[in-house]
Amino acid sequence: MGASGAGKDTLLRGCRRDSTDDMRPLVAHRYITRKADGGTERHVWLSDTEFEQRVAIDAFAMHWSANGFRYGIGREIDQWLAHGGQVLVNGSRAYLDEAQSHYGDTLVPVLIRVDPDRLQQRLVMRGRECAEQIDARIRRARELEQQLPSNCLVIENNGNVEDAVSNLLAAIAEQQNSHRRGLHSGLCGKHL
């Protein structure tokens, strides 16, 4: 999770590229009612009608609305988890409580954090929003960050992207090792 412009998609691509075969997490793609704009996220565009059809047939494991768009994560992630996979989801901070109520302690929240000044620069360069919308996003980012649970892992993405990817992969490896130890002791494992 993290503010728009925090670099979530860049870090997910880095995880796909840099992880080893024995700890390669599965990265869920998102269904969004926003047409692709050539930006960093590769998502599946759905019209509002198509999105609602998928909601009606329970095709999403999770879905939410934010910033005038609808976002969904396909139900395939439940199958991946059932077969022992680790799944990375580009999720919503505002939807976290609902996601945790469904996945319980198997969900490990991770915040990708970026300094407000750097976030503003990234949003301006992206060119999707006006100055007022950017200011509102930065305020919302601060508010939502203060509401995150204490068990939320934090990955700073203010400098070198490779460092942030390495830190995220290290967190994934730690969770995977914790899961393996839990299996040996009969405890429930966690997925990131």
Report percent pLDDT > 90 for the chain: 58
28 dihedral zone (left: phi>0; alpha: psi -120 to 50; beta) = beta
Supply the Cα-derived Rg of the chain in whole angstroms.
17
Average pLDDT, the chain: 87
pLDDT tens-digit readout, 39-88 = 666 789 999 999 999 999 999 999 999 888 999 999 999 999 999 888 99
Domain range summary for the chain, segments of one domain joined by +:
8-185
Q: Is the pLDDT of residue 179 over 90?
A: no
Cβ–Cβ < 8 Å for 114, 3:
yes
Cβ–Cβ < 8 Å for 76, 31:
no
Give me the mean pLDDT over the 4-21 stretch: 88
- Give me 138's structure tokens: 């930065």
The DSSP bridge partners found for residue 64 are 71
Distance in angstroms (rounded) separating the CA atoms of residues 163 and 157:
8
pLDDT tens-digit readout, 106-118 = 899 999 999 999 9
Q: How confident is the model at residue 150 (pLDDT cuts 50, 70, 90)?
A: confident
Q: How confident is the model at residue 186 (pLDDT cuts 50, 70, 90)?
A: very low
Task: Report the residue count for the chain.
Answer: 192
> Which residue in 12, 166, 27 sits closest to 85, CA to CA?
27
Fold for 8-185, please state it: Rossmann fold (3.40.50)
3-state secondary structure of 40: coil
Q: Is the pLDDT of residue 190 over 90?
A: no
- Give me 140's structure tokens: 């919302």
Name residue 113's amino acid: R
